[in-house]
């Protein structure tokens, strides 16, 4: 594996490739490495990698997500959280439909249980 020198140390060929993919996907996004000396290691939310939205000249650069590892999961998170290219409404509708299906199944299970109780009580003689 090839490593490249940077002002903060070395990055691997894999990291460089992922940074290029992110920039190709959205020219306003940059992959950043946060050196240990610049992280609060006592904070569990501090991660070594960040994706920075450069603002496109309209706003100040700011981090949009952090990650423990620089891998395909980070790229997948960028894709799924992109509100410009992902139909957020469809995702929210699917989540609501899932909640309703679960609630209906719970109600059906309760109804079937009550029917069993009624049948059992109907068979017993007092």
Domain ranges (residues) in the chain:
1-86, 87-126
Q: Could you report the per-residue pLDDT of 80-123, keeping only the tens digit for each?
A: 887 777 677 777 787 788 788 888 988 988 898 898 888 888 77
For Cα atoms 25, 33, 40, give the angle at the middle one, nearest 5 degrees.
135
Q: Could you report the per-residue pLDDT of 35-90, keeping only the tens digit for each?
A: 878 877 787 778 888 899 998 778 888 888 888 888 888 888 888 887 777 677 77
pTM strictly above 0.85: no
Residue 101 CA to residue 81 CA, distance in Å, equals: 25
């Amino acid at each position: 594996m090839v490593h490249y020198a940077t002002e903060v140390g070395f990055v691997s060929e894999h990291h460089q490739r992922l940074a290029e993919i992110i920039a190709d996907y959205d020219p306003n996004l940059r992959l950043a490495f946060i050196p240990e000396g610049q992280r609060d290691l006592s904070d569990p939310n501090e991660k070594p990698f960040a994706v920075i939205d450069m603002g496109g000249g309209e706003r100040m650069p700011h981090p949009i997500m952090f990650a423990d590892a620089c891998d395909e999961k980070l790229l997948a998170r960028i894709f799924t959280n992109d509100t410009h290219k992902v139909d957020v409404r469809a995702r929210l509708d699917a989540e609501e439909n899932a909640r309703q299906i679960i609630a209906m199944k719970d109600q059906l299970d309760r109804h079937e249980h009550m029917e069993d109780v009624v049948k059992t009580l109907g068979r017993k003689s007092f």
